[in-house]
Chains A and B, each alone.
Chain A
């Protein structure tokens, strides 16, 4: 057990090191001088961005891609109130356990929203903004279907369980198309009246850079004709030409360009700050959902769970989730039914900043606790620590360690380690460039 836990810890540390800069500081996406930029447009944008220090905390962080917690082998002790907008898939491959045989239940599940089903049936692009905004309610309903393979399947294949469930987002203030968020975005538009003003301002900055280059020794020089300037500016958009001309710039030229940028940064910083506020406000908004999950077998005990889930943003990088559930275990043995109530809570900490270098998610640390009270049995308490490590865009590796005062039906204390992979199909599709 110790060796397994140690191995898992090494994996966590290694992956953490590989995935993110050791300092935890935001890594620049392009080198400081933006020399990787392909043409004048990307270079000038990059130069301005490099000069803006604001750092934005973005992307929704409660889209659940793991197998729901009703599966014994789920790495998630607490369910969250929303799932991926399109299709999410989760695979729990193996457990790290005290069990000397090393066996644990394995599970696989798909979660999809009614929205994605409807868009497929109506053959509409789910990412069409008008369709997306018009069918917000359909993103309030999610379905899950999966299977759990028991650790002793070789003994009895009939113990394999089917997992199915549904989740209803009753209160979803985090949907971008929610009226309150549309109002917020409307204010964002006006703000940088502001947004347009930032655009105007950046036109001035980029134009001043263009004029500087045009007047410098790489351009047609001061007082050049419209045709000569047009030709020069067009050549700046050809990657090979631009790279050649960039190589000819002197330190003095670069200093002058940096000065032009610095002089025009005010509206950019203001816009970046407003964007950050909008994102934070949406991410911290509450979500409340009701869920039903079931695990049925040909033989053995079927399990049904009704659950209420509340997500609340606590602070910038901390998200809180509270679950309350009722569980009914339907035994084939007369008088063997079990009823239980459970309450759990989880704090999600975003350890590393939002993705900055490679498009991967940040590392998340979760601390969770659960209490379970079953008819005719002693209460069970569980605490869990979990780390979720991004592997590539759309794929994460969650590793969890759980301590339970006793296993569900066996009167003994249990320590269990678990790892698996989670896939956000929507993001994978996006990453792979499919429409």
Chain B
């Protein structure tokens, strides 16, 4: 049985479902996507709007994409303090075979916690997977 779609495998090393990020005190999340194949297609969004796609990032198509999510990175996209917000990266396998997602929480005290460290692979062009987690602001 595939883990997702028609032929997808998802190899989890770390996966958290939620994280509390103190963005008022310079805490932030860093994202890294590694890709294999012809043209990587992925998008990053919260519950309120699309934030970026692979072709918004430098050197697309490439094997490694990086971006940061902090208080200032996406304008007014700040999670509601009481409800939180859900952030997701959607991977399409239309012209790519494998992705690795690495999300890290950079804390105020300088420590770094891994939120997601997952491989996704599929050679079925119609497959996709959306990895999400919830972000709370204290």
Contacts and interface: CB of A to CB of B under 8 A. Distances in A.
B62 A130 contact: yes
Contacts of A59: 123-125
A56 interface: yes
Contact of A188 (B17, B40, B41): B41
Interface stretch (A14-22, A121-129, A249-257): A121-129
Contacts of A44: 132
B50 interface: yes
B90 to A, nearest CB: 4
A185 B94 contact: yes
Q: Which secondary structure dominates where chain B touches chain A?
A: strand
Contacts of B125: 56, 58-59, 275, 279
Nearest to A234: B17
Interface residues of A, number: 67
B108 interface: no
A377 interface: no
Contacts, number: 202
Interface in A318-351: none
B59 to A, nearest CB: 7
A287 B131 CA distance: 37
A29 B6 contact: yes
B94 A42 contact: no
Given A129-B39, A176-B38, A430 B123 contact: yes
A403 interface: no
B43 A195 contact: yes
A276 B126 contact: yes
A36 B1 CA distance: 9
A207 interface: yes
Interface of A: 29-30, 36, 38-42, 44-46, 49, 56-59, 125, 127-133, 175-177, 181-182, 185-186, 188-189, 193, 195-200, 202-204, 206-207, 210, 226-227, 229-230, 232-237, 272, 275-276, 278-279, 354-356, 359, 427, 430
27 contacts: A41-B17, A46-B4, A129-B35, A131-B63, A175-B38, A176-B38, A182-B39, A185-B39, A188-B94, A189-B43, A195-B50, A199-B130, A202-B130, A203-B88, A204-B86, A210-B134, A229-B18, A229-B134, A230-B136, A233-B16, A275-B94, A275-B125, A275-B128, A276-B126, A278-B94, A359-B123, A430-B97
